[in-house]
Structure 1
């Protein structure tokens, strides 16, 4: 549950789940024997560790961690333990403490850690949050102690950085839900709790459904349906997203249904793109199932790394040479660099949903969108608009020149069986609408 699953090349040492539970069991046994209370504190740092690793600044990352660890160790007592369990989180075991002692130690930790750190010519602002569960008052079971302290950490984040909260018996269900989602996500795949839905994309030129966006869904045994907005951030932070991507690609390839003649879009991040052997791995999967690469569109979220890392550009060219379509997702979120943009081998730009929403009711939106669409067409690219929910939006964005339209106005995400049965009906429904 607490194993670090980040990049194996970061070479930043982390302690294991086994060490955490070994120390926790010993601390609890000692506390039970001598009737002492223990505080389990879940500490989360807010700092650019992943950014440093992504940019391969391993020495800076190591220096930053060492500086933080030095301050952390100086803030706790000799009988306490600090165990680092992933790139930015620690579990602290404070033995033989009262609640007041615990508060004092946590305040000392926050004051010591929260600061601006200088490494060479760079400055890094660090903050943290701490959640606390006391033994035996809050809980007695080791896993429950950790889960409750973690829930309190999430709760403290709702107040702001550099806060701590002690569990008092009143559990915030939203915070505890985050803990359940984060802990259970690695097991969801192997337990068959995930499935795929497909949202049709309407091609204006042919008045046909020519593609679908493939979306992962999670039916949790106790929580029910878990929104992707809830679990995707945890998947990306933990490395589980890599497993989800390849599972989704295989699920699509297993369909191998040429009768629908559809292109299937899959979302991925730059971090996944930079995985060792990524190009070969995706190529092996489509070859294994005899699926043409041109039937797969890889949607990469636009961010600064897209334009600044030469390695990303090279990987995209390799994928394009194999035959995959490339789409730039969330286009318009503020990272655009024209000089680098034109060097990327992309086929589609997908306008950012928030960017589009901000313009829906703005009469000046045509003056903003039209040049973007014109630029894309002049470069031989197609423009995808998503989030279209009514006929006014549909005709407005169609008349602006968008090539592919996606949203609940066309169809909500549906199962593959539903897609097979209803694709003609969807096309008929959309084509029967008359512009007002």
Structure 2
């Protein structure tokens, strides 16, 4: 049954693909043929237009040539003077102008129109005199008028009031002319009308119209042959009635009155049609080949789509699920949460969005490797999947973070029971490569509708609840409460304001002195950061330093404190400056460079700088921190281990890390007067430090009894309220400078207090 369904699905998919593709192929083939046909016709038209432009250019050149030939007879002082009304000589003009143009250049007909528009002389090679009728003069009326007008406007008035003839000629011609074509006795002619003008510029009292020479060249076979040669064509001839059937190209020459004079025809080249006739057989073969290939491909596609239908579910699953755990991924989880919230009005009940985070998962990766971490993720996912109810959905949304949707919950109590079941599932250890690991988780839950009906809003509040669960001890769960959001907002505000305080030097530092346990001399001061907020008042470092750690501001904050301490160190020569450094700062790739640059900037010897770190520096991979410590050690900077005995307290770390100073945790010092065990531990730590060549510092000294005991067991340095309270540089400076080598420690303590 399943195979039949898959085959049917595959067939539908194949049909959905094959039919459109076949249509596209057929359309593409037809489109190619249509495109080739259109292209060939466009090419033919372009070629024809190009030939037409060449013929028109040849005609224009021919007319310019006729005008240039006319120029030899028209621009001539003697001819000009023999056309003046008082000295007209028609016979001379006919003989030396009209007949000369016929004999020299083949201008078979010509006439001269006097300044008063009367015909002075005329010539026809055949001897006819009646060819110059009113129709010819009517056709030439506009060209003659333009020539006469241009001649008259060529006179310019001089300063003395007389006129000088100064024509402006066109191109290379030195005459005023108009050219075109006319029909005389049914025969076509080219004509040129040129003003008869003097060679030299003349001066006269007034302007006067010119005599105009008009000559004609017949448009015969010889002329057309020359035009065809100039245009690079062949077969140019006057059009005849049967030419229409030959599909010839034509061009119509018109008279100045826009009347047809002659239609010229020629056999235009057909490059597009020629190309199409050569390419068409190849295109037909290609179309057949494409059709055959398409049929084969479609057959293969039908077979392939059946396999595609079988793997489609796997592809969808892979796109929506995490490959390591097999659980839905973040994208699918968010989509399902949005869908559940959209359906809430119809289904009712409560919907819980839960973030689940494995506690200290990074430590597993750091100590056992990422392969072990992957095994833990798979094992946890398997256990969680077993306790998620049918109306819930579990997803893995990041490395060690899971998310859960609980739908249709009748009450909040039911959600709490389900969260308890999930936590109970991890009470049993997880076995990884034969090792049993105890894994705990923190959970944060937000419940719709009271916490919102938007997926983004609900997940944001679940994340806030998760942060609360982790901040309050981990291994527990928390429901979102508006107070948590206010805490987050306050934390964010403090982070932004702390950034501003660092940038504007709005922070300050306090120094707490340390005395030598034998001489009673002040030998060091510990630098403590202080922040007096303009609105919130003094903010405890225990509040804002962790926020700086979370937001990454600790690097800038620590560097600011280091610079300030190095700057103030010049007040107390020979007194060491101790600065607390976070493990996060040690991991910064340029931490050592920053320390070196700061020491150089304030001209402070490295031997006067002591850097304090807590035992949390040993957590995780310590190669980067160890390298940084050794580099500082080589520079001469001293490294102090703060709060010794309160954390890892592994002696192997004291051997591996280059510590110079051990600072005893204040909890041991506070019990000196009451607990023998505390006194024994203090003796042991002092002896241990002495054996390792380290300076031992006891902090938190608040009584004379504590001071006497620590001096008695040989503690190197003493620090605490009994010795001196922290203060600004101005406040502690008199104390440091006023205590000498010969002042007993107990007396010095009383004076300081």
TM-score under structure 2 length normalisation: 0.45
Query: How far apart are 1:321 and its partner, in Å?
Result: 0.7
Query: How far apart are 1:383 and its partner, in Å?
Result: 1.4
Q: Which residue of 2 aligns with 1:320?
A: 633
Distance in 2 (alpha carbons) for counterparts of 1:240 and 1:56? 30
1:399 to 675, 690, 712: 712
Distance in 2 (alpha carbons) for counterparts of 1:264 and 1:34? 68
Q: Which residue of 2 aligns with 1:120?
A: 433
Q: Which residue of 1 aligns with 2:362?
A: 50
Q: Per-residue CA shift, 1:157-206, capped at 9, x if unaligned?
A: 86x87654545x7x7x6x77864565556435313276533322233445
CA distance 1:231–1:104, shift in 2 (3 Å): same
Q: Which residue of 2 aligns with 1:362?
A: 675
CA distance 1:214–1:281, shift in 2 (3 Å): same
Q: Do the aligned partners of 2:354 and 2:462 also contact (CA within 8 Å) in 1?
A: no
1:65-214 equivalence runs, <5 A: 65-69=377-381, 71-72=383-384, 75=388, 82=395, 84=397, 92=404, 94=406, 97-100=409-412, 102-103=415-416, 105-138=418-451, 146-147=460-461, 150-151=464-465, 154=468, 163-166=476-479, 179=488, 183-184=492-493, 186-192=495-501, 195-214=508-527
CA distance 1:163–1:300, shift in 2 (3 Å): closer
Q: Do the aligned partners of 2:610 and 2:640 also contact (CA within 8 Å) in 1?
A: yes
Long gaps (5+) in structure 2:
1-323, 325-329
Q: Which residue of 1 aligns with 2:291?
A: none
Q: Which residue of 1 aligns with 2:750?
A: 433
1:293 to 606, 610, 625: 606
Distance in 2 (alpha carbons) for counterparts of 1:153 and 1:295? 41
Q: Per-residue CA shift, 1:405-426, capped at 9, x if unaligned?
A: 1112233333445445665578
2:342 to 30, 35, 41: 30
Q: Report SS of the residue matched to 1:369.
A: helix
Q: Which residue of 2 aligns with 1:3?
A: none
Name the count of aligned residue pairs.
Answer: 411
Query: How far apart are 1:136 and its partner, in Å?
Result: 3.2
CA distance 1:304–1:93, shift in 2 (3 Å): same
Q: Do the aligned partners of 1:45 and 1:89 also contact (CA within 8 Å) in 2?
A: yes
Q: Do the aligned partners of 1:153 and 1:164 also contact (CA within 8 Å) in 2?
A: no
CA distance 1:401–1:93, shift in 2 (3 Å): same
Q: Which residue of 1 aligns with 2:375?
A: 63
Distance in 2 (alpha carbons) for counterparts of 1:200 and 1:250? 19
Greater RCO, CA 8 A, separation 6+: 1
Query: How far apart are 1:395 and its partner, in Å?
Result: 2.6
TM-score under structure 1 length normalisation: 0.72
Q: Per-residue CA shift, 1:85-144, capped at 9, x if unaligned?
A: 7x7655655566543563454345334455422221322212224343323324679669
2:659 is equivalent to residue 350 of structure 1 = no
1:408 to 721, 742, 746: 721
Query: How far apart are 1:298 and its partner, in Å?
Result: 1.3
Q: Do the aligned partners of 2:353 and 2:405 also contact (CA within 8 Å) in 1?
A: yes
Q: Report SS of the residue matched to 2:558.
A: helix
1:376 to 689, 692, 698: 689
Long gaps (5+) in structure 1:
1-11, 13-17
Distance in 1 (alpha carbons) for counterparts of 2:540 and 2:673? 25
Q: Do the aligned partners of 2:586 and 2:624 also contact (CA within 8 Å) in 1?
A: no
Q: Which residue of 2 aligns with 1:248?
A: 561
Q: Do the aligned partners of 2:333 and 2:395 also contact (CA within 8 Å) in 1?
A: no
Q: Which is further off, 390-399 or 24-33?
A: 24-33
CA distance 1:318–1:112, shift in 2 (3 Å): same
Distance in 1 (alpha carbons) for counterparts of 2:490 and 2:530? 13
Backbone CA RMSD of aligned residues: 4.7
Distance in 2 (alpha carbons) for counterparts of 1:90 and 1:419? 53
Distance in 1 (alpha carbons) for counterparts of 2:662 and 2:714? 13
Q: Do the aligned partners of 1:79 and 1:95 also contact (CA within 8 Å) in 2?
A: yes
Q: Per-residue CA shift, 1:250-304, capped at 9, x if unaligned?
A: 4434x25412234332233556534445433433443345443223211122469
Q: Which residue of 2 aligns with 1:258?
A: 570
Q: Which residue of 2 aligns with 1:7?
A: none
Q: Do the aligned partners of 2:613 and 2:642 also contact (CA within 8 Å) in 1?
A: yes
